[in-house]
Structure 1
Amino acid sequence: MTSSTTVAGTAAEPPPISDPRKGLRGHPWLTLLTVGFGVAMVALDSTIVAIANPAIAEDLGASLADAQWITNGYLLALAVALITAGKLGDRFGHRQTFLIGVVGFALSSTAIGFSSTVPLVVSFRVIQGLFGALLMPAALGLLRATFPAEKLNMAIGIWGMVIGASTAGGPIVGGLLVEHVNWQSVFFINLPVGLLALVLGLFILVDHRAEKAPKSFDIPGILLLSGGMFCLIWAVIKSSEWSWGDPKTLLFLGLTVVCFAVFAFWETRTPEPLIPLGMFRSVPLSAGTVLMVLMAFGFMGGLFFVTFYLQNVHGMSPVKSGLHLLPLTGMMIVSSPVAGAVITKVGPRIPLVVAMSLTAVALFGASTMDVDTSTLEMSLWFGLLGLGLAPVMVGATEVIVGNAPIELSGVAGGLQQASMQVGGSIGTAVLGAVMAAKVDDELPGKWAGAKLPPVTGEQMSKASEAVEVGRAPIAKGTPPELAGKITSVAHDTFVSGMSTAFMVAGVISVIAAVVAGFTKRGANAEAGAGAGHI
């Protein structure tokens, strides 16, 4: 086993492409600009759809489960494919995989805009996620190959800032587009951005592939990992319909355990594993990976319900709801570069612990919001949440990538993003299940307590589906006084479910703060990762 030299806290000095280049091709900062457009497009899509979900649900008649799959289909496809895509870039070149990803992402996004049914939207969202997976780790690989070692940390910091700013900016951009154009424009916007990234990429990006690139692909590993994650998310989402003790739920959870166990065994036996498990002998790398999962759990899972809360409970327009999230987005954009500078100076551990602690406080605070919460109080919790999230977005990249062997740069880049996407997908599913369970438990009692007209079991089930997204189940022709009572019961029940979901997210963030204590600046020891055997 060998070890590599740490350079400026990064993974290792990237292999030089050639002598300093003249003109545009290979210019480090222009490379960063180019990949920034592609990365921003993917990161924006992880949250921009959240603000459009109510409009999509109303236009296409989508249930809560449908709305979840519009989000989860994208996140799950992205998460499943990221690590494999990183290996594709290592073998065939990061420039090629980046450009293919950009084109495919833009075209599939356009196809979503032309879709008229929920199954079509979900299907193209899955395809969109697969192409997004191609370009994300490739972007990081291109930066590592282009920037000199002493400036790579700065480039990664800006890269993380772009992701954070784009993720945070999604609700505002989505609100403007949904209100002034339509929900389809949320997807059409990716076409011009993708075209710009493609043109810049053709003229600026330089090909790079790892010297120790894989000669084959771990197909069984890909299938086992994909199957395990699918079974897990499916079981969590359907638990609200089946219940946790239902044999079908237990079956999928059991399949999840089997898939992951067989995957781990297989990865120790195959010559070129999908994920060399020796990487996780690095405690900081493992901690950084877990931290990304937990952070995304609370952030994306919580944001999913905030949009319904603002639009359906407070009756805000998409733009107004986006503006109410400005404290969150603004704090993330402002604090991301500050976080990068602090992390570069003192290392990631202290900033990440503090950041996740602030995130926990913000989520516990958000759990106190009710139907009449003021804009000022909302802004306090949203702003604190943005302040806590930014350092994690920036710092976890350095922790994961910086502690991985140089020849596994594509895998490390894919792992970093996969962690975030898996966490977001699980968070949306778990908190959705929490919301559904709370509504199913409380709505019948509150309905009867308000002395509303009795309904059948089927009618109550349909009413619960509406309440889960903050809508009042009011039939046409309902007298105003009765409609007011139904609205009050629906909103109170939704807020109760949302509060419980935020409490769960807050507890997860406390655990994440503890995990952050095990992170440190990248030492990049190659020991244990080697050829992939343990």
Structure 2
Amino acid sequence: MSQSVVNSEKADVPPQRSAPPTGRRSLQGHPWLTLLTVAVGVMMVALDGTVVAIANPAIQTDLGASPADIQWVTSGYLLALAVFLITAGKIGDRFGHKATFLVGAAGFAATSAAIGFATNIQTVIAFRVLQGLFGALLQPAALGLLRGAFPVEKLNMAIGIWAGVIGASTAAGPIVGGLLVEHVSWQSVFFINVPVGLIALALGLWILRDVRAENAAKSFDIPGIVLLSAAMFMLVWGIIKAPAWGWGDTSTLLFLGGAVVAMVLFALWQGRAKEPLVPLGLFRSVPLSAGTLLMVLMAFAFFGAIFFVTFYLQNVHGMTPVQAGVHLLPMTGMMIVGAPAAGAAIGKVGPRIPIVVGMLLTTVAMYGMSTLDTGSGTGVMSLWFVLMGLGISPVMVGATEVIVGNAPLELAGVAGGLQQAAMQVGGSLGTAVLGAVMAAKVTDVLPGNWAKAGLPPVEGAQAEGLKQAAQLGITPPARPGTPEQVVHGMATAVHDSFVSGMSLAFGVAAVVAFAAAVLALLTKKGETEAGPAVHI
């Protein structure tokens, strides 16, 4: 695809190719039914991102897996998802977003079933990687289908509802996972995807209309795919392993440096390729580039900080996974309500003001959570969770609209993949960086808190084990017969150290959120038409 196409005026953007009229026209391609269909599909992917974390301990026990194996159950899925997203978007642009969505839904359901029937950890890991690949097909295709089904004036509302489904599914993961693992089995966490996937597949065959641009690229940029995949793999894997290896470790630097080299080679190749995977002219749009970076910063602050909340609720306050999930409902509820409302507001005033306000609310929420201590009650926690949900909603919707809306129709899938890849990278980077910040703080204050509690010093392997446990807010088990006063002192020292680290991490997240609010001033409404929609 030539650069001239990327920079063409909106009047030159060709209409999407749609299915010929049939007797089902009243339903096929219907915008709101299209939204329902893609929402069911992406719900599986979003739910799976958090629900499996609850099942990991049961998987480890049942299959006799090592800690490294269990890490791959999560990391293998996230790596496959992050590496394949942009390429998956290109596949949708080339072969049609309907077909891509259907393959993704069917594959996600099938691999989920295979994991449920697995009898060893190696099989679980292998199918988790495949599950990530099929999940990557679903998400950009969903955005491409929405882009083709809705007119510009209603696209924001659709993206708002879509974002609300993702937010609600992500937050519901710990509750759903806790209930299923506690009352059924860890296999049920995966089996639940089968009926959901079949519903998405049936609705897709019945409702979805094929969406693709007439002048979409007819060939694949294989060198570009290889270089981009290598860059994304090395980047995400380096980020995932950095907390364990150390940020200054040779292995970490090799992976992160290799990612930079591969990305530079990718950019050079894209300038020469006849039909590039990601035309560089796409980034001549300042709003699109700003929206992509904004998505990275938002995910860094949000997913990186929220990672600690579950440990805070469960290990410091002693809640079960289900109870922790219930305490997060104020944030979930605000995301469900706030995302569609944000879509409506963005449709009236554009994305800039709602995104700036949203990131400022997020900044306040992050700062507020940095003030939490071991005795903070449900009321004060709920206040910050509500502000977080209200703040994140317009950013999720607005940044997505800025990225997808400012890309030509023939690159809608690539833009959708770019949006999701930015979120994956930002979330992984936030979790790793804020985790390192928190670990350093806990290591620094733990000895003082331990001595302050009147406890004898620990050394060697015991000291290292204590440090690792404290970074998660876990009090090491006391020996039988240990006085209650000593047990209480151990818990106080560990929890105070954990909260100190969490407070610093939230403080850093607040700074990042404020930087995102400033960056949001560069965003503006998408300038390319989505094409005619039917049956609004």
1:305–1:5 Cα change, 3 Å:
same
Corresponding residue for residue 176 of structure 2: 173
1:148–1:375 Cα change, 3 Å:
closer
Quote the offset at 1:28 in angstroms: 3.0
Q: Any conservation in 1 of the 2:151–2:529 contact (CA below 8 Å)?
A: no
Q: Does 1:344 align with 2:347?
A: yes
1:61–1:513 Cα change, 3 Å:
farther
Q: Does 1:4 align with 2:9?
A: yes
Q: Does 1:325 align with 2:328?
A: yes
Alignment counterpart, residue 522 of structure 1, candidates 513, 520, 526: 526
Quote the offset at 1:372 in angstroms: 1.0
Quote the offset at 1:352 in angstroms: 0.2
Residue identity matched to 1:427: G
Quote the offset at 1:69 in angstroms: 5.4
List aligned pairs for 1:392-403, cutoff 5 A: 392-403=395-406
Corresponding residue for residue 532 of structure 1: none
Q: 2: CA distance between counterparts of 1:5 and 1:91?
A: 20
RMSD, aligned CA: 2.9
Corresponding residue for residue 366 of structure 1: 369
Q: Any conservation in 1 of the 2:94–2:217 contact (CA below 8 Å)?
A: yes
Corresponding residue for residue 488 of structure 1: 492
Q: Any conservation in 2 of the 1:81–1:133 contact (CA below 8 Å)?
A: yes
> Mean alpha-carbon deviation: is it higher for 13-22 or for 261-270?
13-22
TM value normalised by structure 2: 0.89
Corresponding residue for residue 311 of structure 1: 314
Q: 2: CA distance between counterparts of 1:454 and 1:253?
A: 38
List aligned pairs for 1:394-413, cutoff 5 A: 394-413=397-416
Q: Any conservation in 2 of the 1:24–1:204 contact (CA below 8 Å)?
A: yes
Q: Residues 76-106 of structure 1: CA distance to partner in whole angstroms, max 9, x if unpaired?
A: 3212211100111111222221111112212
Alignment counterpart, residue 435 of structure 2, candidates 432, 436, 454: 432
List aligned pairs for 1:106-255, cutoff 5 A: 106-114=109-117, 121-148=124-151, 151-255=154-258
Quote the offset at 1:291 in angstroms: 1.0
Quote the offset at 1:258 in angstroms: 1.4
5+ residue gaps, structure 2, are 531-536
Quote the offset at 1:19 in angstroms: 4.5
Q: Does 1:105 align with 2:105?
A: no
Residue identity matched to 2:9: S
Corresponding residue for residue 265 of structure 2: 262
1:137–1:236 Cα change, 3 Å:
closer
What secondary structure does 2:252 align onto? helix
1:69–1:515 Cα change, 3 Å:
farther
Corresponding residue for residue 283 of structure 2: 280
1:231–1:22 Cα change, 3 Å:
closer
Residue identity matched to 1:280: F
Q: Any conservation in 1 of the 2:16–2:211 contact (CA below 8 Å)?
A: no
Q: 1: CA distance between counterparts of 2:320 and 2:193?
A: 23
Q: Does 1:472 align with 2:475?
A: yes
Corresponding residue for residue 529 of structure 1: none
Corresponding residue for residue 531 of structure 1: none
Q: Residues 458-505 of structure 1: CA distance to partner in whole angstroms, max 9, x if unpaired?
A: 222222222222221215536143333222222222222222221121
Q: 1: CA distance between counterparts of 2:418 and 2:360?
A: 24
Residue identity matched to 1:75: L
1:139–1:248 Cα change, 3 Å:
closer
Corresponding residue for residue 74 of structure 1: 77
Corresponding residue for residue 421 of structure 1: 424
Residue identity matched to 1:145: G
> Mean alpha-carbon deviation: is it higher for 113-122 or for 177-186?
113-122
What secondary structure does 1:517 align onto? helix
Corresponding residue for residue 515 of structure 2: 511
Q: Residues 266-315 of structure 1: CA distance to partner in whole angstroms, max 9, x if unpaired?
A: 22122222211110110000111111111111221222211111111111
Q: Any conservation in 2 of the 1:50–1:307 contact (CA below 8 Å)?
A: no
TM value normalised by structure 1: 0.89
Corresponding residue for residue 353 of structure 1: 356
Alignment counterpart, residue 33 of structure 2, candidates 23, 30, 35: 30
Q: 2: CA distance between counterparts of 1:492 and 1:122?
A: 36
> Mean alpha-carbon deviation: is it higher for 222-231 or for 87-96?
222-231
1:265–1:399 Cα change, 3 Å:
same
Q: 1: CA distance between counterparts of 2:283 and 2:39?
A: 29
Residue identity matched to 1:293: V
Residue identity matched to 2:357: V
Kindly, what percent of the aligned residue pairs are identical? 66
5+ residue gaps, structure 1, are 527-534
Q: 2: CA distance between counterparts of 1:514 and 1:18?
A: 46
Q: Any conservation in 1 of the 2:156–2:346 contact (CA below 8 Å)?
A: no
What secondary structure does 2:212 align onto? coil
Q: 1: CA distance between counterparts of 2:276 and 2:152?
A: 28
Q: Any conservation in 2 of the 1:237–1:432 contact (CA below 8 Å)?
A: no
Q: Any conservation in 2 of the 1:176–1:319 contact (CA below 8 Å)?
A: yes
Q: Residues 333-377 of structure 1: CA distance to partner in whole angstroms, max 9, x if unpaired?
A: 111111111100000000000000100110111111121111111
1:114–1:510 Cα change, 3 Å:
farther
> Mean alpha-carbon deviation: is it higher for 460-469 or for 49-58?
49-58
